[in-house]
A and B are shown apart, each in its own frame.
Chain A
Amino acid sequence: MRKRGFSMEQKKARWGWIFVTPALILFSIFSFYPIFTAFYTSFYNKNLLSLRPPRYIGWANYQYLFTSQEFRESVINTAVFTAGTFVPLVVFSLILAAFIMSINKFQRFFQMAFYAPAVLSSVVAALIWLLIFDPRGIANQGLNTMLGTSGVNYHWLSKAGMLRLSTIIVYFWKYIGYFTIVFVSGIGSIPYTLHEAALIDGTNRWQNFWYITFPLLKPTTLLVSVMALIQCLKTFSTQYLFSSSGAPTRPINVITLNIYNTAIKDYRIGRASAMSILLFLVMFLFTWLQLKVSKTEEVTYM
């Protein structure tokens, strides 16, 4: 009787499962479990301090959020921050990556210089920028010098518009280097022969970038845009530190800060969980949309 064995494909698949199982277990414990717990908790009226069992209230937390002015403001603040940060992040990191790859010297130096802020903790970064945006700090001094004014306070940390701009600047400064490095590796993975062929065909550097590099960078652009979007929607530490340091909270009360205040300051963990589930759904929707849109434009090197 012939012994029935596994095919090569099945063996590969089995080893594949063995290798990914530890990651799946960790992911389940630290990501799926909290998500399911938050979803479950969002249907309860639960006080974080209370020893009494939580009370089931169905969709009431979600209904409250859809009528809450504070939550509506948080959604607007998050949308403004994301729109103001996400687009410049993707565009400028691509431009910087193209610049770094186009020069022959100091490539490593520029990569390190741009990446350095990403290594700093968000708290330290926000503290540095608080000093810069202080009314007596270099942001006011610099703008006064540039605009030829004297002693004008531009209210970086107080006027709603300027405060929002300040948080956008901090975030942009912190993450631009990280996404630049991702684009650099994306550009580096495009076979050089394609550029050579284009050059032989008489393209200039701009045409080479626009017709060769840019279309072949679509997978990297997609990755960067998904990551940048999720990062922007999750922004917290800059807004938290700015508001803790005296800046008015309402213009920068993004959803994550609202979740923190609702759970930790107000003890309403059920309502905070409902907010986090809504934020999760928004991030999930945007990621799915981006993947869906890009699916038809997958890139292969011929």
Chain B
Amino acid sequence: MKKISSVMVFALTMLLFVSVVGAQTIELTYWTHTDDNRTMIENRYIEEFEKMYPNVKIKRVVNEASKMGDLILTAFSANNAPDLFNLPIEQEYGYMIHQRLAPVNYAAVGYKDAQELIDNYQEGTFDPISMDGVIYGMPLELTNWSIYINDRVFRDAGLDPDKDWPRTWEEMADISEKLTLRDGEVVLRRGFDFRYPYYLVSVLPMVEQLGGKLISDDGKTAIVNEAAWTQVLEFMRDWGPHGRNLGSPTYPAPRKIWNKDNNDMGMCLSGYYQQGRLKIDNPEFHASNEWRVVPFPVFENAVNDVRASYYGHYLVVNAQTPKNKQEWAWKFIAYMLDNPWEYLETVQILQPRKDLLEDQAFMELPYMDVFMSDMSKSHAVFLHENGYQFERFIGDAVEGVMLAGEPVDRALKTLKTRIQEVLDDVY
């Protein structure tokens, strides 16, 4: 009997010990998208952070970028979302509107208040992730796109890349025509092609160049300036296989094949990070001085000098995570983001902290002047609770006129009706 009692007391003591130790351990789950370079440095940050704070354990889960939105949404609807994560701001915006994100803990990220945090970054950095004066995320990366050119392809087509690069969309179509190689109707080499799924980032600014808008300033009317929309849809129709046959959404993504330098892609649309990926995919081409970056074009009859919108990935914390874990999550985020130079040099992503941007070495990075000049003429990507849905509707219109032979006026009418229906439901 005495023996049994001793065993029970021992077991209970152990249970209590395990419970106390377990209660003190903070386990954070961090979901992010694939990027080998970032994984390398962030795994090191995690190791260092866990060494500094042995009571904190961080589990970093990597998902395909294209699947992240679905996975995070499903996890939230099942009340099983990660403690911290990042998504493109177009998707994160809905989470902020629906109060799924925890406000930034200014003390935990090392600032006195919101103003001190804002002052430390480039103007406007926190606008997309703020609501009613409260900030809900820290910038992991801010990206804008310009045009990457393969000089060899230009020369192969008898063009001089120093002089003949496209300044306007009309020139872009004409130069692409010269660069395109075909076997009958089948395109073997494209001069340039768009990044089709990302219509809010690069196609909507083309509409804005012509004075159009997706919705009116009061947020109640869909499609402002139909003439601007018509011109862009006609341009896309002419670009497609039933027009000048310069490209199509059904061909492989230009950004990926441009890196290969296989004489099948002259130009592509991408951000500064492309240089890091190029260095990994094709170091010989990266080091060759046979490529360059030029500004995002504008239409000849543009009324606004607007370039491709910049978008961002913000690190955010789940509002349903317990408060003490939220504080540790913000501390960890601040620890990672205290290395903007390493993110820039290793991952080629820009965290717009003023000390980085004001560094002389920053502007001397290859073609950074082009990206920063384009960014100064652009604005944050269109944000709306239903922005994701609107992007799909724009995609249907563009793909309808380019591929399915849908008349431009009908595609525009359908687009307007669909967006208006959503707006009428929201307001």
Contacts and interface: CB of A to CB of B under 8 A. Distances in A.
Nearest to B66: A244
Contacts of A249: 392, 395-396, 399
Interface stretch (A86-94, A151-159, A225-233): A151-159
B346 interface: no
Contact of B250 (A247, A251, A265): A247
Nearest to A245: B250
Nearest to B388: A265
B388 to A, nearest CB: 6
A136 B66 CA distance: 25
Nearest to A48: B77
Contacts of B76: 48-49
Interface residues of A, number: 33
B196 A159 contact: no
Given A136-B188, A155-B241, A248 B404 contact: yes
A49 B400 contact: no
Nearest to B70: A264
Contacts of A245: 250
Interface in B81-109: 94-95, 98-100
A51 interface: yes
Nearest to B398: A248
Given A251-B404, A265-B388, A49 B251 contact: no
A266 to B, nearest CB: 5
Contact of B182 (A70, A151, A251): A151
A155 B251 CA distance: 11
B403 interface: yes
A246 B249 contact: yes
Contact of A150 (B184, B248, B403): B184
Chain A binding site: helix, strand, loop or mixed by DSSP? loop
A134 interface: yes
Given A49-B73, A264-B70, A267-B94, A248 B185 contact: no
Interface in B393-419: 395-396, 399-400, 402-405, 418
A265 B66 contact: no
Contacts of B66: 244
A246 B188 contact: no
Interface in B168-190: 182-188
Interface string B40-83: 00000000000000000000000000100110011011000000
Nearest to A269: B77
Interface of B: 66, 69-70, 73-74, 76-77, 94-95, 98-100, 182-188, 196-197, 241, 248-252, 386, 388-389, 392, 395-396, 399-400, 402-405, 418
10 contacts: A49-B76, A49-B95, A50-B98, A151-B185, A153-B241, A159-B405, A160-B405, A246-B196, A247-B250, A264-B70
Interface of A: 47-51, 70, 134-136, 140, 150-153, 155, 157-160, 244-251, 261, 264-267, 269
Given A48-B76, A248-B400, A250-B400, 19 more contacts: A47-B98, A48-B77, A49-B76, A49-B98, A135-B186, A150-B183, A155-B241, A158-B403, A159-B405, A244-B197, A246-B197, A246-B399, A247-B399, A247-B403, A248-B396, A249-B395, A250-B396, A266-B388, A266-B389
